[in-house]
Amino acid sequence: MKKCMCCMQDYSENQPTCPVCGYSEAQMKWDEEEFPEALAPETILGGRFILGRTLSVTDFSNIYISWDALLQKRVAIREYFPAGLGKREQGAADITFSSAREQQLFEMGRETFEGEAARLNRNQDIPGIVQVYRTIRENQTAYMVMEYLEGRTLQDKLEDEELTDRKDVDRIICCLAEILDAVHARGMVHYNLSPENVYLDSGGRIRLLDFGDAKRRVYGMMRRSTRILDLRYTAPEILQGEAGGAGSDLYSLGAIYYRMVTGKEPPQSRPRRKKKTGLKVVDARAEKAIQALTMPAMEKRPKDARTAMAWMEREKGNDQYGQK
Q: With respect to CATH, is domain 33-147 assigned 3.30.565.10?
A: no
Q: Over 80: is that where the pLDDT of 238 sits?
A: yes
Dist CA 237 CA 248 (whole Å): 8
Q: Report the phi/psi class of residue 242: left, alpha or beta, with left for phi > 0 and alpha for psi in -120 to 50.
A: beta
Q: Once rounded to an integer, what is the mean pLDDT over residues 165-178?
A: 91
Q: Which residue has the higher pLDDT, 36 or 317?
A: 36
Domains in the chain: boundaries: 33-147, 152-320
- The terminus-to-terminus CA distance of the chain in angstroms comes to 64
| The pLDDT of residue 137 | 97
Of residues 284 and 7, which shows the higher confidence score?
A: 7
Quote the CA–CA distance of 107 and 92 in Å, as a whole number.
19
**Residue 175 pLDDT > 90, yes or no?**
yes
Report how far residue 177's alpha carbon sits from residue 198's, in angstroms, rounded to the nearest whole number.
Answer: 12
pTM above 0.85?
A: yes
> CB neighbours of 223 closer than 8 A, spacing ≥ 6?
none
Average pLDDT over residues 108-117: 95
Which candidate, 43, 60, 50, places its Cα nearest to that of 222? 60
Task: Report pLDDT digits (tens) over 279-314.
Answer: 999 888 899 999 999 999 999 999 999 998 887 766
Confidence of residue 323 (pLDDT cuts 50, 70, 90): very low
CB neighbourhood size of 299 (10 A): 7
Query: What gap in Å lies between CA 302 and CA 308, rounded to an integer?
Result: 7
- CATH class, domain 152-320, is mainly alpha
Lowest mean pLDDT among 26-40, 89-103, 218-232: 218-232
CA distance 277 to 270: 14
> DSSP E strands: which ranges in the chain?
2-3, 10-11, 44-45, 49-57, 61-68, 73-80, 132-138, 141-147, 151-153, 198-201, 206-208
Residue 147 has pLDDT above 60, yes or no: yes
Contacts of 164 (CB under 8 A, 6+ apart): none
210, pLDDT greater than 60: yes
Give the span between the Cα atoms of 291 and 293, in whole angstroms: 6
The DSSP-derived string for 66-120 is EEETTTTEEEEEEEE--TTS-B--TT--S-B-SSHHHHHHHHHHHHHHHHHHHHH
